[in-house]
Structures are given as structure tokens and as C-alpha cells.
Structure 1
């Protein structure tokens, strides 16, 4: 076993290099003092970050992505939690089929979901907008929130809920004061994962928005005119925000466990 330890460390190091090397290259060449983010590195500059921050359309798209990610994640979490609580606590005919139906969108391509929503919205007269994209993000994040919440519901929570009802608590009090606090780590994990997925999502946002676009769609528009260190700077900022969300989720979940 000791002879295999160096091989294990080598494999681990190779995996980390494979995962993070593209990110390192992206960040390094966002400081490129030149027109193209390609070797050789010509020296550091913050001009591209200044250009990104002063770009009104880009900042507006970033704000749209942030609002869309938070709002859709809240809605998906609320719906997923209520559905998981109902199916976990109440015996219904066809419960297994209902669970399968709720999780099914996780197995469908985002492109298929976006095309289906686009056709449906066209039939009912809903124009492409952030609201339409938000509905699409709820559709893809709801199964994730449901699966996480349903997996976290155990007999301990069930006993506490039964005791609260015996003491005269209303059903909404059981949900808000007993179920939700006991499932706080799972709820936080589902929420932050939904935020991350919505923040980076492109296909649904591209097909279901028109004038008020999200950040991935704005980055795609920038790439149509060619690559530059400015796109690297935008990618670095997106990566920084995604890492911040993940760290915040880890801090919240670990803090609740302690």
C-alpha cells in the first residue's frame, strides 16, 4: 500500500492541474498588456478590468444575472421544499410516479427545455424576457431542490413535526418553525447550487431573452467580435463570484452542522 501512495498523490495532483489549469490561464491572461490573451505574457495591467467595470451593458447584464439567479432559486427552493415535504410525509397513490415526474427535467437537455418553453410562450403570447428566462431557470432548478430536500427528510424530523402538531401547532407553523430549521443545511445547499446553475446558464437565457440579457449571453456577444483580455477579465470575475457563492454555502452548511 505504501508503494501506491506516490501514485495516488501523482494522480491527485494531475487531476487538480487538469481542472484548474484553464482557470489559471484565464486569470493570468486577463492581465495581458496587449490585444490578444495569448502567449507570451507581455506584462500586467488592470486596464481590461477597468474597461469591463465601465461597460454599462456588461454591468447591467451582470445585475440581471444576479437578480435572476437569486429570485429563481428562492422560488425553486420554496416549491421543491413544499413538494418534498408533501411526498415524504403523506402517502399518496402514485407517489413514486410523482417523484419521478418532478426529477425528470434533470435528465432532459437544457436545449430541449428551452425550445419547448419558447414554443409554449409563443402560443400563449409571452414575449422573450427575463421573466420567461426566469421560468426556465425555475424549471431546471426545481428538480434539484426537490431531490436535495427529499433526501434530507428523515424520521427525526417526522417525529419532531408530529410532536409539534400534538402540542397544537398549525401546519404552517410546523413547516416554518420545525421542518425548515431542521433542514437548514439541505435548504442552503439547494439554494446556493441553484444560484450557481442559474448564474452560469446560457442556452435558456439565450433563447428566452431579447433586450434584457444575462451575463453569459452578453459574454457570447463579446466573443462574436473575437477574443480579447477583456473576455478573460469577465470570465475571471464570473469565476470569482461563483467561488464566493460556493464558499458562502460551505460556511453556512458547516456552521449549521457545528
Structure 2
């Protein structure tokens, strides 16, 4: 039975990690095509990626959009969660459902709706429009994480702070935020990860200044190459660094 369990675990990890491993290995391919046999290793394609101005500009755009949209999503999610924790509103369950509803809707539908909305208000497709779109899809996630972290102990501490004369801004910034700091950081990191490699909304809401996933798609239109593998490996590396940072700073601290 134990052998079957280990075999199942090995197959599961192979199913998950094998595509990524192939991508990374053939990013070092010493040839024009990322297909067997492996002729590497070489760092030629990584050098080309780092020297490509369009790719580096797209990388900077992705970083900017991810950081800004994640910060706004966490702030709005925090305020919404704090509001629901303070008072029971009529139809609060319905209101919570409306906030979380975008999590159940296809990104394509959200992107098409946002494209029409930004055109209607006169906002051209741009990085700002993309950032707004990423807030729309990340805000429900942040709200769900933060609302779940505000339980009875936190609500009791908030009531005590108000009874002692603290203003609402002090209650939120000096009491609630430190108490749920791990959840705030988790919401931010997850939002950053989702925004970092999101394609559909970024494709629909950008025109000239594009994000990295859109630039990668443009490269793929001319066919696969080790250069696209190198870009994919770098994107994967950033995602791994975010997850490792989250593990080291939050989950390990919470386990102590």
C-alpha cells in the first residue's frame, strides 16, 4: 500500500512539474528549435531575452501593473472586510456574494465587459485600464481571504479599541491591520502572482504598452523557439520566488 502511495505521489508531481521542467531544460537548447535532442547547454537565449528592449519594457509593465493592482485590491478588500466585520447590514450575505461573484465569471467575459466600459467612459486601452481589470478580478480574492481572517477575537479587539476612544482610522491601521498582517501579505502576494501572468484581460485592455504575457504571445505567433522558453522560465522563476517568500515570511511564522 505504501508503495502505491509513493507511486501515486511521484506520478502526481511528474504530471505537474514535467511540462515546466521541459520548458526550462530546452531554454538552454543550443539550436533554433526547443525540441529533442538536447544540444545544450547555452545561455545564448537568456542573453537575447535580457537584451531585448521590448521584452524588458513588457517585464517592467507587468511588474508595475501587478504591484499597483495588488496594492489597490488589498486596500479595497481590507476596507470591505472591515466594514462587514463592524456591522451586520441588511442583506449582508447577498452583498458578500456580489463582491465575490467575479471569481465565478470567465476572464474573457470580464475582459469584454471592461473593454466596452473603458471605451464608454473614454479611457483608451492602456496599462491603467489593465490595472483596473486586474483589480476587478483580484479584489474578490483579497476580500475572501481578509474576511475569513476577521473572526470573533478580532471583532472583540476592534470593539474594545472603539470603547477606549480610538478613531476609526486608528482602529483599522493600529489594531486590525497588525492583527491580520499575514492575511494581508498573503492576499497581496496571491494577487501579484495572478496579475503577473494574466493574459486575457491584459490582451484586451492594452494596445501599445503591453504586459509580458501579451509580448510572449506575440513571440509565439512566429513559432516556438528556445527564446520563448527562456522567457517562460524567467516568468516561472518570479512566480516561484513569490511563493517561496510567502512560505518563509508567513506560513512558517504562523506555524511557530
TM-score range, shorter chain: over 0.9
| CA spacing shift, 1:11–1:255, aligned 2, 3 Å | closer
Structure 1 distance, partners of 2:85, 2:3, is: 46
> Which structure 2 residues correspond to residues 56-205 of structure 1 after superposition, within 5 A?
56-205=53-202
Superposed CA deviations along residues 60-99 of structure 1, whole A, max 9, x for unmatched, are 1001001100110000000011101111221111101100
Structure 1 distance, partners of 2:154, 2:109, is: 37
Superposed CA deviations along residues 175-227 of structure 1, whole A, max 9, x for unmatched, are 00110111011111111000000001000000000000000000000011111
Q: TM-score, normalised by structure 1?
A: 0.97
Superposed CA deviations along residues 90-147 of structure 1, whole A, max 9, x for unmatched, are 1111101100000000000000000001111111211000000000000000000000
Structure 1 distance, partners of 2:67, 2:209, is: 17
Residue matched to 1:240: 237
SS in 2 for 1:32: coil
Structure 2 distance, partners of 1:163, 1:157, is: 10
- Tell me if 1:19 matches 2:16: yes
Structure 2 distance, partners of 1:119, 1:43, is: 47
> Which structure 2 residues correspond to residues 30-69 of structure 1 after superposition, within 5 A?
30-69=27-66
Runs of 4+ in 1 over 3 A off after TM superposition: none
Contact 2:59 2:212 (C-alpha < 8 Å) held by counterparts: yes
Structure 1 distance, partners of 2:253, 2:84, is: 25
Instruction: Give the unaligned 5+ runs of structure 2.
Output: none
**Alpha-carbon deviation of 1:168?**
1.6
Contact 2:77 2:143 (C-alpha < 8 Å) held by counterparts: yes
**Alpha-carbon deviation of 1:255?**
5.1
Count matched residues.
255
1:214 is aligned, of 211, 214, 233, to 211
Residue matched to 2:249: 252
**Alpha-carbon deviation of 1:256?**
4.1
Instruction: Give the unaligned 5+ runs of structure 1.
Output: none
Superposed CA deviations along residues 151-187 of structure 1, whole A, max 9, x for unmatched, are 1111111111122122221111010011011101111
Structure 1 distance, partners of 2:126, 2:133, is: 11
